[in-house]
Structure 1
């Protein structure tokens, strides 16, 4: 059965490429946040440990939402570390920075994901894909809010 959702195949593929970048950013940010949850130390351990857990759980659910939107568009979603590594612009952290650097990196990561969400919205808007625009707008708002909260910790 052909996909007949009112969006041309070529447009669905363009949107799915942008969504794949958002999925890669989301998953990369999930991994980094989860690692920082495990490894945070310092005077703010309890609050950061708890906050990072809330954030990685939200990112885990978001990754599923983004991947399923790609599938709605009848395109296969990337799902390997190597694919995500090629698509994301979020820098991997292989060490264990101090808590301030963790907060800084996560704030930057959410800002990157917000910018990626904006690119998804632009691609979807051009094709009249309100479903993707709605989902990406929700992701944009979540990333902007989280980035603000993380930046506020450092002031």
Structure 2
């Protein structure tokens, strides 16, 4: 591979890429879980949840490419297999038996919060490396995950 000289040290590029790999794994795992729940939701909230989950999994699907491409821009290979994602993610896999709708909501809210924590954990390193494009990407992802978690938590209130 050609030498990468973008003003970020090789050590920082490596560490940031590894962190982004974890964010990519969390995002993809959350995408799969959300899509699974979209397919399998039942009950009185079916229509609203089916529609909401579709909007959420579409947003997550559109997020994986920019994360992976940022890893590539830093000169590293993006993880892209189920085995790699399973090893890197902080999220549990979706239950094999679809849970009740309220449990789906709880699982997704927790998943968005965990993914936000993964993104937030990179800021000190990204700041140290003066990696503004990654900081911008992380800020965008945090905004989405925190807002989505809030909206899901709101559905759980009595």
- TM-score of the two chains, using structure 2 as the length reference: 0.96
Give, in angstroms, the shift of residue 120 of structure 1.
2.0
Runs (4+) of structure 1 moved beyond 2 Å? Answer: none
Q: Does the CA-based 8 Å contact 1:18-1:123 persist in structure 2?
A: no
| Deviation string, structure 1 residues 69-119 (Cα, Å, up to 9, x no partner) | 000101000000000000001111222000000000000000000000101
**1:89·1:112 contact (CA, 8 Å) conserved in 2?**
yes
Give how far 1:123 is off. 1.8
How far is 1:125 from its partner? 1.0
Matched, 1:152 2:154: yes
Please list every run of 5 or more consecutive structure 2 residues that lacks an aligned counterpart in the other structure: none
Aligned residues: 155
The residue aligned with 1:21 is: 22
Name the residue aligned to 1:31.
32
Task: Tell me how far apart the structure 1 counterparts of residues 97 and 129 of structure 2 sit (CA, whole Å).
Answer: 42
Show the counterpart of 2:143. 141
1:45 aligns with 2:59: no
